[in-house]
Structure 1
Amino acid sequence: MNFYIYILTNPARTALYTGVTNNLERRLQEHSEGLGEAGKFTGRYQCNLLVYFEISPDTTQAITREKQIKNWTRTKKKFLINTLNPSWEPIDLQTWNG
């Protein structure tokens, strides 16, 4: 099973949310509907645009990576996003070819 570490932003690109899940499509749907504990932050700041994700084969590694990214400065997170998605266009998982 794969695990996904992901970063969401809002339309103004002023807020960043980092999360981890084993089902990225489902979790993005939950964020857009404001479900779950994370919905509090993502709902308040309208963070529902996927701008970065990475895959980990191990749950422990994925959680460790999520915590690492969460502790980074905004500048470092922006650099990470730019490595995968320099235009910060919302990633559509159905058409993304990385």
Structure 2
Amino acid sequence: MQEDSAASGWLVYLVRTAAGSLYCGVTNDMERRFREHCADGPRSAKALRGRGPLQLVFTYPAADKQQAMQLEWQIKQWPKARKEALVSGLIGLDAIIS
């Protein structure tokens, strides 16, 4: 039986740094994870430390952790222009989900 996306709790997300860079990650607790990123502590991603203020600009519910991680990997391969199109809603992830 396939788990409902919203029920799994896993999300793919994009965070924008003060300089305009986009960071992609996955989590099952967006509130906690974003708080960790903003705190610049040891649980924050190295790529985001000292690059605040940060802004959560995109989230997408995944069916499970595996799908979230696959989507994260795919998004990380994209050029910035395509990530910006995703954030602005010009493109979606539905087409790349198998």
TM-score (norm 2): 0.76
Q: CA deviation at 1:57?
A: 2.2
Say if 2:48 is the partner of 1:42. yes
Equivalent residue number for residue 95 of structure 2: none
Q: In 1, distance between residues paired with 2:18 and 2:40?
A: 16
Output aligned runs, 1:6-85, within 5 Å: 6-12=13-19, 14-35=20-41, 36=43, 38=45, 40-46=46-52, 48-83=54-89
AA partner of residue 37 (structure 2):
H
Q: CA deviation at 1:41?
A: 1.3
Q: Which has the larger radius of gyration?
A: 2
Alignment RMSD: 1.6
Report if the CA contact (8 A) 2:37-2:44 is conserved. no
Q: In 1, distance between residues paired with 2:53 and 2:66?
A: 25
Q: Secondary structure at the match of 2:82?
A: helix
Q: What percentage of aligned pairs have identical amino acids?
A: 34
Q: In 2, distance between residues paired with 1:67 and 1:51?
A: 18
Structure 1's unaligned 5+ residue stretches are 85-98
AA partner of residue 27 (structure 1):
R
Q: In 1, distance between residues paired with 2:73 and 2:59?
A: 14
Q: CA deviation at 1:43?
A: 1.5
Q: In 2, distance between residues paired with 1:43 and 1:31?
A: 7
| Alpha carbons of structure 1 residues 47 and 18: separation in structure 2 relative to 1, 3 Å | farther
Equivalent residue number for residue 93 of structure 1: none
TM-score (norm 1): 0.76
Equivalent residue number for residue 89 of structure 1: none
